[in-house]
Amino acid sequence: MAVSSLEYSSQFDHTPFYCEENVYFLCKKLCANGVADADGSDLYVVFISNEQKQAYFSASKRADGVILWDYHAVCIQRKRGGDSPCLVWDLDSSLPFPSPLASYVSETIRPSFQLFSEYQRCFRIVHAPIFLRSFASDRRHMKDPAGNWIAEPPSYEPIVAEDKTVHNLNEYIEIGTENISTNVGAELINDVSNKKLGVVMNENQLEEFFSQVSR
């Protein structure tokens, strides 16, 4: 019997408003169950935001029409070999899970209205093997000035990096146009594979980048 997108996505840990932790454990599970390479080498974590921390998205489970988030994080899978499309794994999307990258971009990223330049989304692409070793969050960003939770946290312990760093989420979500790479090429692809914080690009470069990643 075929498994629906909703049934499939329900197999993954998901805590509302903690997309960075959701994508962390999603990558781990894809590696563990054989859907992705065991070392995660065919997976990329993508943080989406802008200087204003006001990024528009469509096709969200949490809203009809367009939703505004300060940032979002998804996983993109680029399988080596063959002609399989790049897949976007987004636990907050109402689109099929996973969705081909081209469909995800057209349905979620590209709005039907014109955005002012300061609200254009930027994409920080981080290779999953590096992300899984380096990312950390003690959830401080989800507390108000009085120390109360803005949204209920996951029940498991906070994620700590291999080097014992306890919080560096801010480094991943500080994304602006000044960080955008000038062109997509071999150097940029190499940087994604070697830099802790990956590279930043605009939405016009996103599909081009994944089309050039070695098959």
Active site residues: 19, 72, 90
pLDDT digits (tens, 9 = 90+) for 40-95: 999 999 999 998 898 888 867 766 667 888 999 999 999 876 678 899 999 999 89
Name which residue leads in pLDDT, 107 or 19.
Answer: 19
pLDDT digits (tens, 9 = 90+) for 108-121: 887 655 666 667 88
Domains held by the chain: number: 1
Q: Quick one: which of 140, 128, 141 has its CA closest to 73?
A: 128
Residue 121 CB burial class (10 angstroms; 0-12, 13-18, ≥19): buried
Q: Quick one: which of 147, 172, 202, 153 has its CA closest to 22?
A: 153
Tell me the residue range of the domain where 81 lies.
5-213
**pLDDT (0 to 100) of residue 56:** 82
pLDDT at 1 over 70: no
**First CA to last CA across the chain, in angstroms?**
31
Query: What CATH number did the domain enclosing 37 receive?
Result: 3.10.620.10
pLDDT digits (tens, 9 = 90+) for 142-164: 999 999 999 999 999 999 999 99
